[in-house]
């Protein structure tokens, strides 16, 4: 058997890092960032700087999102955000081994290129992960309880979320977020901004996001954004959203 070469100093350092991560679990990303705590790389749902593979094929979300739109959206738009983000990180001396959330928390200190592409990459990574085939329905368990506690009913939440998505002027996103303290809220952001950014009007940890840029729906829905927003509920992977909520 090969003898381990780990040193006592390395063991203590690794143990301390692991202990820190465990100690942070149960505190939302937004809360930690607001306190100036750096998110460690192994924190639940921390976002890296590279584009993740899709968990389903391009046709998997039909008829609600067509295969051609998914292919263009993922391979062109989202891929470009990831590429440009890494270019910006290199230009601005950002350590890409650490989660992107740490950059978003102080995005006002970075360039417009970093803001647009950092937000674009983070937003799309979340977007792909909270959708799926054979999805839809309603949330259950703790997430449903939290929705009812925060909005009064699931139906009220849906109305507020749809309104945020439909009334976002121009391009942007609608969000379900966990605010500091654990309460849920609906918000929207312009362009590729998101609620983790230090310049967001309403801050929190996103657990559900809907892309309302025209490239996300135009081939199938043209200018009928409300139809696209209504169809989104058929795609929401509530299990994935619930897991994000419970880790937040």
Q: pLDDT tens, 4-26? A: 333 333 333 333 344 444 445 55
Between the two ends of the chain, the Cα-to-Cα distance in Å is: 42
User: Nearest 10 degrees: CA dihedral of 83, 89, 92, 96?
Assistant: -170
Query: Are the C-beta atoms of residues 196 and 105 closer than 8 Å to each other?
Result: yes
Distance set, CA 52 to CA 15, 46, 124, 148 (Å): 28, 12, 10, 33
For residue 156, what is the enclosing H or E element? helix 154-167
SS3 69: helix
Distance set, CA 90 to CA 93, 96, 114 (Å): 5, 9, 10
Query: Are the C-beta atoms of residues 185 and 191 closer than 8 Å to each other?
Result: no
Q: Return the ∠ at Cα 45 (arms to 40 and 49), rounded to 5°.
A: 70
Residue 181 has a pLDDT of 83
Residue 131 has a pLDDT of 98
Phi-psi region of 177 (alpha: psi -120 to 50; beta: other; left: phi over 0): beta
Residue 167 has a pLDDT of 98
Give the residues of the chain that fall short of pLDDT 70: 1-26
Q: Which two tokens stand for residue 26?
A: 């149960």
Domains assigned to the chain? 30-36+64-248 (3.55.40.20)
| Long-range contacts of the stretch 91-97 (C-beta < 8 A, 24+) | 96/48, 96/49, 97/41
Residue 24 has a pLDDT of 53
Query: Are the C-beta atoms of residues 154 and 195 closer than 8 Å to each other?
Result: no
């Amino acid at each position: 058997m090969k003898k381990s070469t780990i040193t006592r100093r390395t063991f203590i350092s690794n143990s301390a890092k692991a202990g820190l991560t465990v100690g942070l679990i149960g505190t939302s990303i937004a809360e930690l960032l607001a306190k100036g705590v750096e998110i460690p790389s192994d924190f639940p749902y921390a976002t890296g700087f590279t584009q993740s593979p899709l968990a389903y094929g391009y046709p998997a979300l039909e008829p609600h999102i067509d295969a051609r739109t998914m292919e263009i959206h993922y391979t062109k738009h989202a891929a470009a955000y990831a590429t440009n983000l890494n270019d910006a990180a290199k230009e601005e001396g950002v350590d890409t081994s650490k989660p992107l959330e740490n950059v978003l928390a102080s995005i006002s200190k970075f360039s417009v290129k970093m803001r647009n592409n950092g937000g674009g990459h983070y937003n799309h990574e979340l977007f792909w992960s909270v959708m799926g085939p054979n999805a839809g329905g309603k949330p259950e368990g703790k997430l449903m309880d939290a929705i009812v506690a925060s909005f009064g009913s699931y139906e009220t939440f849906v109305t507020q979320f749809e309104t945020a998505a439909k009334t976002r002027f121009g391009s942007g996103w609608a969000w379900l977020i966990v605010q500091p303290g654990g309460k849920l809220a609906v918000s929207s952001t312009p362009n590729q901004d998101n609620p983790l950014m230090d310049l967001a009007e309403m801050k929190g940890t996103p657990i559900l996001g809907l892309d309302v840029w025209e490239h996300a729906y135009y081939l199938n829905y043209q200018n009928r954004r409300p139809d696209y927003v209504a169809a989104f509920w058929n795609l929401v992977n509530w299990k994935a959203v619930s897991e994000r909520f419970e880790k937040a």
